[in-house]
Structures are given as C-alpha cells and as structure tokens.
Chain A
Amino acid sequence: MNRFAALFTALDQTTKTGAKTAALAAYFRDAPEDDRLWTIALLSGRRPKRTVTATRLAEWAAAKAGLPDWLFRASYDVVGDLAETIHLVLPPPREASDRSLSDWIGDIRALSRAEESEKRAFVESAWDRLAGTERFVFNKLITGGFRVGVSQKLMTRALAEATEIPEAELAHRLMGDWTPETTSYAVLIEAPDPEASLSRPYPFCLAYGVEGGPETLGPAEDWLAEWKWDGIRGQLILRGGQHHLWSRGEELMTHRFPELARAMDFLPEGTVIDGEVLAWDAATARPMSFAALQKRIGRKTVPKTLLREAPAILYAYDLLEQDGADLRTLPLVERRARLQAMLAGLPPEAPILLSPLVDHSDWEELATLRAGARDMGAEGLMLKRKTSPYHVGRKKGDWYKWKLDPLTIDAVMVYAQAGHGRRANLYTDFTFAVAKGNELVPFTKAYSGLTDAEFRKITAWVRRNTLARFGPVRQVPPEQVFEIGFEGIQESTRHKSGVALRFPRMLRWRHDKRADEIDTHEHLLEMLAQYG
C-alpha cells in the first residue's frame, strides 16, 4: 500500500489542484489496475463495507496503546477522526509490508464472515506492519470514511489525462451504482458494456450562485427563470422496462419513493428527466414544506400513513434523454419544449408534473417575483441561459441559482465549545440566545460563517471570559452579539425555545450591538407564525 499512501500524502500536502491532478494522473498511468479501480472507487465515495465497528476499533486501539477508554475518547473528541486518533496513539510498527491497496481491501472485506477474535488479530497485526501514512490509510479504509480533498471532478480530470478518454465521457461512465466488486477497470473505464449502463444516470448539471446582481448576466430575455424548489434534486431514468431514481449525490432512491414507479405507466421507454422530488399537496397544488419530505429521507421502506401524509412527486425541470437518445447538447429551450410536450395531457394521478417557468420581461420584474418565493414554498429562483446545453457538473456562465436572502435574527452567544478536526484548537461551536424579559432563551447552535481570523479572535475572547465549564462546553458572559441567518423555522417540542431552525449560521459578528439590543423570543415566535 506504499504507493497509494504516497499518493495520499501527495494529495494531502498540497492545496493546488494542478499538483493534485498531476499526482493522480501519474498514479493512474502506472498503478496496478485493481489498485486504480479501488482508487477511483474511494475518490468517488465508494467504500468497502464496514466489517469492524468503530466501537471495537477504538477499544482495541486504546488497549494496544495502554490507554483507558475515557482518555482515548477525549483524544478522539479533539482529533475528530477515529482513523487518525488510532494512528496517533499507537506505538510505532515493528515490521513492514509490501502488500497492495487492493490486497488490504480484500482482507478487510473478507472479515465480514470472521469471528471477532480473528478480526482483532488481523487489525492488530496490520497496525504492527504498517508504517506512517500507510497505517492511517488502513484505518481510513477500515472505518469506511475516506476524504482527501479531491473532488470527483478533479479525479475524473486526472483519469482523463492518464487515459486520454474525454472527461465528460468518463464522468458518465463513473456514474451509477458500480463497485469494484461488480466490475473491473477494463470494463468500467476502457470498454463500457451498454447493458450495464441501463440504470446509469447522467452527471448532474449544477449551478453557481449569482454574485452581485443578475444584471451582470446580460439581457434578461436570454434567460429562462424557474422556481428553485426546496426538495431533493433527482434524475428519473426509464429504460429497459425498469425505472431508477437517483439523487444528486448518486444515491439510488428508487425504493424510497415508490410513487414514481407509476411513471412507467405514463411515459415512454428511453426517457431521462431531471427534476426535484417534493412532498406534494394535491389540494393546493403546491409543494409541502421540506419538513414533510424530511420524514421520508433516510427511510428504506415507507409506511402507508406516510405515503398518504407526504406523497412524493417529481417536479420536472429538464429532459436529458428521449427515445434513448442523449439530448444534453441541445439548447435548453429545445429540451424544455420537448419536456413540455411529453408531459402535456398527463392525468392528475401521474407522479410527474412540469415545474413552471417564471415569466418575466426584465430583471426588475424577476427581482419582485423572487421576493415572493418564500410564499410559493420556494428558496428563490434558478436562472438558465436559453441556449445552454446540459453541462457535466458545475460550469460558470449558463446556470445560476438566485436564492432568497436568509431569515435573520440578532442573538447573543451564551456557550462556546471547541471544534474538532480542522478546528481542533479553536472555539467554533456556539449556542445563541434571544431575550425574553430579563431572561435569555437559548434557541440555536451555529458553527459556521465566520472567517478563520474571526474564529481566532472569538477563541481568545472565550479563553479570557469563561464563567463556567461543563465538560468541553464553556459558559461565557452574554456580551458578543451575532446576526444569525437561517433558511427556515419549524415548531419544535424538543427545544425550550419552541423552535428549530434550518441551516443556522453566523452571518456577521455585530461588534456594533450590545447584548441589550438583541431580538426577542416573541420576535422568533412571530417568525415561526409567518414562515413555519
């Protein structure tokens, strides 16, 4: 695994994408094919199944390092990564190993049928034989979490460099639910089997946020506008008498949304549609809140009551394939016209609806319409250039999201907790409160939105102003005011404040405000009544 560890180190030691691409391309040119395949799998989020639980690994590592379990856990809290914590506390290895990446992964997979004592013996002997980064990488493989700051796009680019296959074509070949167990490097990369690609989605076309105003995008008449719905982006594939529903994260969601099976009754073979999975309120012909859809996320099977309470539909944005032909290079208006024709006249029970365009004559009108997005149940607008193809991934220039500004509230920090991992020596996780008479009511936590320099400042302040400690949490005087932004607000019986926020984060540190100028709990409840 020496070579893979060296690749990992090279990727980890630079922040420059050029250097990362070069290191990866070099690896793809001459590493053994099985290792190449596993590397592609790992860098596209396909991991070997977990065969040992994190709890056991932690216990074995603590025992081998001669540490009490609580001390190992305290260390893990700071490091934030189990694989790294184990690597750091273990004594140095006694031997070396020249086994390859795929050899080690093979051993790890074979453990699924092993007795616990065999598992332990294998893991301990691996710890004795793997030096430096190799041991860390082994821990990453066995704990199943693998992130090295290499996007799938970057990996695909490097693979394209090494194989001289066009990047977009490779991106498509890498989609879907293949794993190194079900394919080989030759079949996946060099000679794709058309049969195997029946369920394969297209790479999603992604949008950038609008920076500055939309005026910078040129004349409004060059652009289609549509609502940006707050659901799950999905791709519905109807091929070979089967249907598949994929999420943007390339997760197969077919069985989570059984309603969409009926699409086969209404739409022809060889169709691929990009849209938004939403919980749909047929009575008002509007999407339900994200909270309704949320109940269905993470459920492999759906109880009948939930199917009734939060029925799902696909709100269609785009047509990517028709009669088995790839339409992605056609201009958007052409694809849209075909989509509209295909969906026209479907009966009301069809689980696919056309997401409407937002008609407009200029940017000003669109800005006014966007301001009402929240009332529509939308997060804002999508702007798509009429002539745009359906790109692979994120490309600047053709698709933009123009989201609503978040809801905001001014609140005071009352507790601080140190972060872990990247932020191990900084106070970054804060609890905020609003005022209720003379009391302070904590209502949300937030841990993002400040710059590193601001986190350093607040860390220094927290260290100097700790009133009390509760384990890793420090109580601080209610003096520092922050503007908290969030995307939505829901009623919550689990929180003392009675509300739960969606995506709370710190927008600004309000040095200009004193603690007696923060918003009130009453104001929070008004927001709940208006937007909840």
Chain B
Amino acid sequence: MRTDPRGGPVARPRSAKTPYRRIRTPHYSPVMVLEFRDSGIYCPSGDFYIDPWRPVGRALITHGHADHARPGHGRYLATEAAAPVMRHRLGGLAIETIAYGETRSIGGATVSFHPAGHVPGSAQIRVEHRGELWVVSGDYKTTPDSLSEPWEPVRCHAFITECTFGLPVFDWRPEAELAAGLNDWWRACAADGRHAVIGAYALGKAQRVMTMVDASIGPILTHGAVENTNEVLRAQGIPLPATTRVTPETDLKALTGALVVAPPSALAGPWLRRFGAVSTGIASGWMALRGVRRRRAADRGFVISDHADWKGLDAAIRETGATRVFATHGYTATFRQWLEEQGYEAAIVETEYEGESLDAPEPEELPA
C-alpha cells in the first residue's frame, strides 16, 4: 500500500463496486487550489472568489439563487443561461458570461463551467492550477428534470459539495412519479371546483413544476414573483407553458380549477385569500419529513427538490474520482463522517449557503 508523506495509508473507497477509478494526485502535494476565507471560496492563483458572501473584486457565480449570487462584487462571471436572472435580480450588473465547457484562464488558474442540474444555468465550476483539479459544485441535483441542463460529472482531485439532504432518509422518487402526484392532486381539486395552490421557489422549482404537470388539466396562474422569473427565462428561450399573472383584476371565478404557482411565503399571507376555496401544497425536499409537512400546515407536501438526495450525493462524489471532499452546507457533520468511512479525506467548510431553506426569512427580517 502506498503511503502519504505523513505515514498514513492512502484512503481507498471501500465499495468495490465503484466503476470509477480515483484520480490520483500526481505526487502528493498540499496544493490548495482554493482556500476557504471569511468572504468566500477563494482562488489565490487566479485572485477570484466563487459564490462569495461578502463583496469582493471578482466573483465567479454558480447560479442565480440569492445565497450564491449576491450584490456588491466588482466583476461577475456566470454561465450564459444564469446571467439573465442575475441581472434581473441584482440590477444592471456587468456580467461576463461563459458557455458550458468553455475554458478560460484567469491569472494562473484555468476555469470552466459545467451543468449542475439544479436550476436553469446552474453550474459547477472547475478550477485547475498546476495540474491540480478542484470543482466547486454549488448546489446540484443528479437526476434529470424537464427544465435544467442535466448534471455532468466532472473528474477532479478535490470536490466541494453541498449536503443539504445528506441523510439516507432523503430518497427522491423518479420525475414521472412526482408529476403523477401533482397531476392527481390538481385534477381532484379541479373536480371539486377549487384552485390547487402550490408553493415553490420563484426561480427553478416554480418553472419545473409548471413543466412537469399536464397543462391540459386547467389554467396555470402565477404569483408576480414567479411570473417575473418566467418572463426572464422565456426571453432567453426556455420554453414554459402558458401562464397568467394574478393581478387584482384577474377574474378568478372564470378560472376555477387552476393551478396557482406562488413562492412558499405567499401561502401563509393575505395574498391567498382572493382565491376562496383552495387546496394548498408545497414542493420541497423537506416535505419528505412528516414533521416539517405538518408544521407548514399545507394540505399536501410534494417531495420535489432541486438538490441531490442521499444516493445522488453519494454517486456524484464517486463519479468525480476525487479523494478530497469538502462539505459546505447541510448535514455536514454526519456527511463528513460517512465520507471518511467511505475512504475519502473529508472536511467541513463553514459557508453562508443555505441550500433548500424552506424557512429562509426575507433579508429584512434578519435581526440586526
């Protein structure tokens, strides 16, 4: 057995079934292609950050969700498909764009962006420096859906991963089964003359729900926050079914049996009252837990997530061939222990990413 300079055996994956060979670091080197700093994940050789949470000079952004794409940086680099939503959300930003798979040199580093399967335009960012390959995966989902560019494994030495749903209790059902669940519910509501109101994140989840369902069941109505995102995505050529923005003038009586798509927060507020008799549902990976489902007090919980489930995380990490894994957000302590048992060199990195935070308060709600 080969040993590393510290004298310990080099960890090997325990599972003999893995079809992927680990990429070995050419010679054991402590090269830190990326460093974990107070402002975010930093690349010293290229002098840039990835998804920083404090204002920095140059930021590479994995995707447009608020905990990854924040305002106040000097320069931005994102995929062509992620940029429009970022411009919309963060104002008239100067965003440089890059195609999936295109390589670009920044200082002494070479970077490229690869699909993460999370939301439209979401990317894993691959950074190479002196032959050492690191990948920051941002948020990702390994199973394909009807909307996002499907996730692609990227071979690397070190992989920086989320683990929002990094427990074996999270096990997603196939997309067709999820769609059938939504359709059955919508049909039953329509038959009762009620609106089916579904709470889903305005970017990504909402559009995925719209493209999953059978639009022949009835009209699809949207909350303003969802429709604003729809407009941006349609303008960049992403096909979405026809939707109607709900305004005070919308004649809801003429539209019974609609599917209403709104951000989860709207389900708790006065916005819902205009619809009269409704059945409410929430689309989130957290709905796998009965306790969370009950706390949200929605009629139905649909276990639909844009993050990888337990098996997805496990398979994704295996496919990268990485020997070092850094867990950023989620059940990090448990996940690290699991990774170590599987033979990886694993560590937890404190970040300010939130994953699928069903309960994320609006920024103005935060205590001073």
Contact = CB atoms under 8 A, between A and B. Distances in A.
Interface stretch (B150-158, B250-258, B351-359): B351-359
A102 B147 CA distance: 46
A511 B367 contact: yes
Nearest to B334: A74
Interface residues of A, number: 45
Contacts of A15: 297, 299
Contact of B169 (A70, A88, A472): A88
Interface in B317-347: 331, 333-334, 337-338, 341
25 contacts: A12-B294, A65-B168, A68-B341, A78-B167, A79-B291, A80-B291, A85-B169, A421-B289, A421-B291, A422-B294, A423-B295, A424-B289, A424-B291, A425-B359, A426-B359, A452-B295, A453-B361, A456-B365, A457-B365, A457-B366, A460-B361, A461-B367, A463-B354, A466-B350, A511-B367
B106 interface: no
Nearest to A419: B291
A70 B297 CA distance: 32
A453 B225 CA distance: 21
Contacts of A70: 337
A67 B331 CA distance: 16
A506 to B, nearest CB: 14
A27 to B, nearest CB: 19
Interface of A: 12-15, 65, 67-68, 70-72, 74-75, 78-81, 84-85, 88-89, 149, 420-426, 452-453, 455-461, 463-464, 466, 469, 471-472, 480, 511
Contacts of B132: none
Nearest to A465: B367
Nearest to A65: B168
B338 A71 contact: yes
A13 B300 contact: yes
Contacts of B292: 422, 424-425
Contacts of A511: 367
Given A12-B290, A68-B341, A71-B167, 20 more contacts: A71-B168, A72-B168, A74-B167, A75-B168, A78-B167, A78-B169, A79-B169, A79-B289, A79-B291, A85-B169, A422-B294, A423-B291, A423-B295, A424-B289, A424-B291, A425-B357, A452-B295, A457-B361, A459-B359, A471-B333
A165 B330 CA distance: 53
B176 interface: no
Nearest to B185: A13
Nearest to A74: B334
A75 B360 CA distance: 22
Interface string B17-54: 00000000000000000000000000000000000000
Contact of A89 (B169, B352, B365): B169
A13 B361 contact: no
B286 interface: yes
Interface residues of B, number: 33
Given A421-B291, A423-B291, A425-B286, A67 B168 contact: yes
Contacts of B299: 13-15
B168 A460 contact: no
Interface string B272-303: 00000000000000101111101101011000
B80 interface: no
B352 A464 contact: yes
Nearest to B359: A456
Contacts of B338: 71
Interface of B: 167-171, 286, 288-292, 294-295, 297, 299-300, 331, 333-334, 337-338, 341, 350, 352, 354, 357-361, 365-367
B333 A469 contact: yes
B277 to A, nearest CB: 11
Contacts of B359: 425-426, 452, 455-456, 459
B290 A81 contact: yes
Contacts of A422: 291-292, 294-295
A65 B169 CA distance: 10
A441 B90 CA distance: 45
Contacts of B289: 78-79, 84, 421, 424
Chain B CB within 10 A, most for which of A78, A89, A425, A426: A425
Nearest to A472: B333
A81 B352 contact: no
Contacts of B300: 13
B290 A84 contact: yes
Contacts of B333: 469, 471-472
Given A425-B358, A425-B359, A420 B295 contact: no
Contacts of B365: 453, 456-457
Nearest to A14: B299
Contact of A88 (B288, B295, B350): B288
B8 to A, nearest CB: 22
A420 B291 CA distance: 8
A375 to B, nearest CB: 39
Nearest to A418: B331
B40 to A, nearest CB: 14
Contacts of A89: 168-169, 171
Contacts of A85: 169
